[in-house]
Structure 1
Amino acid sequence: MIYLETSRLQLRDWEETDLEPFSRLNADEQVMKYFPKTLSIEETNAFYKSIISEFKECAFGLYAVEAKENKEFIGFIGFHRTTFEADFTPCIEIGWRLKKEAWGKGYANEGATACLQYGFSKLGFHDVYSFTADVNKPSIKVMMNIGMSFIKMFSHPKVEKDSPLNKHVLFHIKQK
């Protein structure tokens, strides 16, 4: 099923054929630069299963994204229920991960903007959050481009305290 469509992207259900390029995406050191580590095939399969499970449970999730021009899987953009221990959780998080060949084309802005509109108008969201390591300037730029506002810095409870990725920024947007 296609959930959202923009001029250049389709945000859709995941297909078994997405697993192989999804594994490559999660194993790419450049793509995973702002995460604690790359993911193995087994970890990617577990992540895929959790995405599918969240769709079944919530009727939303991280949508598979394909470029309309060639029908190629380029990553994901969408929503996730964040439940780790923090003063802003549980919450709905918007996130994205695209293969490096798709970077610099505005796809994250385009897809995330469409997701926010869908989340507020069709899914009934009132608030959406996003967060990343404070060194992840590309994702912070996307958060600002899609209209989110900086709330605060925090130490991510699931990232080692001495990691350069522990310090995170929290952004937020409300339904207008």
Structure 2
Amino acid sequence: MDKKYEFESDRLGFRLWSDEDSVLFSRMNADNKVMQYFPSVLNKKESDKFIEKIMDHFKEYGYGLWAVDIKETHEFIGFIGFYTATFESDFTPCVEIGWRLDDRFWNKGYATEGAIKCLDYGFNILGLNNIFSFTSKINKPSINVMKKIGLIEQGTFLHSNISEDNPLRPHVLYKIDKKTYDKNH
């Protein structure tokens, strides 16, 4: 079955979400390993609600967190893309690049490959000027991806949507602007 991709990298296809994604995405969001750097796992209803939010974001902004497949096998592996962060902070609202992959697909370079392609798409197709990314300070795998794709550390902050006693509250902030991106690519 061929799927229609909005854009592609060497190994990955980026597309809008389909009904078939719900079961696999729900399984991912219920996995403690996948969700270890988030405040909690999501149940099926919460996971489906998240897909609705993603689709609403596409309708409002024309971009979002794309469902990602391995092109060769058409396997859904998670999402990579953009989301408009609006929680209370001195750098919001902003466009955030993010990813969440099923742990079966970790350590294969997919997050880095997909995020690099999304940066290109964001700056050169969508016309974005700044792209941010952030995660808890203890999320070393995502911080490594941020560094690999050329984002520059901006500092730290306490995430306003995470409780004060939660070890995930201290966050690190990364950013890249169009000028820096163009210079490096």
* TM-score, scaled relative to structure 1: 0.99
Pairing 1:132–2:135 present: yes
Match of 1:61 in 2: 64
Match of 1:90 in 2: 93
User: Where does 1:21-170 land on structure 2 (aligned, <5 Å)?
Assistant: 21-170=24-173
Pairing 1:2–2:20 present: no
Residues 46-100 of structure 1: CA deviation (Å, up to 9, x unaligned): 1000000000111000000001121010000000000111000000000000000
Q: Which amino acid aligns with 2:27?
A: R
Contact kept? 1:4, 1:115, Cα under 8 Å:
no
Secondary structure, counterpart of 1:84 in structure 2: coil
Distance 2:20 2:26 in 1: 11
Match of 2:183 in 1: none
Gaps of 5+ in 1: none
Secondary structure, counterpart of 1:16 in structure 2: coil
- The root-mean-square deviation of aligned C-alpha atoms, in Å, is 0.6
Gaps of 5+ in 2: 180-185
Secondary structure, counterpart of 2:20 in structure 1: helix
Q: Which amino acid aligns with 1:31?
A: V
Q: How many residues align?
A: 176
Match of 1:14 in 2: 17
